[in-house]
């Protein structure tokens, strides 16, 4: 039988896992076909993504300053006659997801081949976004199984700890396990982006070899 602190730990994790159900990716079909002005764009993105930010009352999904900076730094195509297309919206969706774990500089390296129109019609932003959505199907189910296994192991730990410390220790251990997994994956991503940055530099300046 679980003690009160163990029950609280399990309930806390279960609530956090259950929160994953509220995270929904935006299908390309949900994007408006018509081009949008800046205010319309920020309103649309806020309506679609506000449930994904940590503190909706405090954190902004997208602002005019952000969009202008993204265009200035070539993360997105510049607007045409102050209007933003579905392609712009897809580029902004990539940025929204990536910026939670990547720097703007890394995102620029990752997205710049898309913004300079060198990929061709077979590898458009829309097709790459659809590929990302497809690849993510079933991910939450696999994650839930992995998290359940971690919780089960941690529930059997710290039995000799004082009752008033046990919940904290279990949460700390659980967060450490998740954090280390994130750290390893982020390291792999950053290494790959560094390779991409070097390749882009050599392409732009062949004499640098």
Residue 93 near residue 26, CB atoms below 8 Å: yes
* Predicted TM-score of the model (pTM): 0.80
137: exposed, middle or buried (Cβ count in 10 Å: 0-12, 13-18, 19+): exposed
3-class SS at 35? Answer: coil
Tell me: the pLDDT tens digits for 66-123? 999 999 888 898 899 999 999 999 999 999 999 989 999 999 998 888 766 656 666 7
Domain assignments of the chain as residue spans, ordered by start = 4-204
Tell me: the pLDDT tens digits for 19-57? 777 777 788 888 998 999 999 999 999 888 887 887 877
Per-residue tokens: 12: 């806390």
Mean pLDDT lowest among 18-22, 74-78, 142-146, 163-167? 18-22
């Amino acid at each position: 039988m679980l003690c009160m602190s163990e029950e609280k730990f399990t309930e806390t994790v279960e609530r956090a896992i259950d929160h994953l159900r509220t995270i929904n990716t935006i299908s390309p079909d949900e994007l408006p076909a018509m081009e949008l002005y800046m205010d319309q764009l920020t309103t649309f993105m806020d309506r679609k993504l506000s449930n994904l930010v940590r503190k909706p009352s405090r954190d902004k999904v997208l602002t005019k300053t952000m969009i202008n900076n993204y265009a200035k730094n070539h993360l997105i195509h510049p607007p045409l006659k102050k209007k933003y297309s579905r392609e712009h919206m897809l580029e902004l969706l990539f940025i929204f997801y990536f910026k939670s774990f990547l720097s703007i500089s890394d995102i620029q390296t990752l997205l710049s081949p898309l913004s300079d129109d060198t990929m061709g019609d077979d590898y458009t932003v829309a097709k790459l976004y659809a590929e990302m959505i497809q690849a993510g199907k079933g991910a939450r189910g696999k994650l839930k199984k992995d998290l359940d296994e971690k919780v089960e192991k941690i529930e059997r730990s710290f039995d000799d700890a004082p009752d008033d410390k046990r919940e904290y220790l279990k949460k700390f251990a659980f967060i450490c396990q998740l954090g280390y997994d994130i750290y390893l994956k982020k390291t792999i991503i950053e290494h790959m982006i560094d390779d991409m940055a070097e390749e882009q530099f050599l392409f732009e300046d062949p004499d640098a070899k």
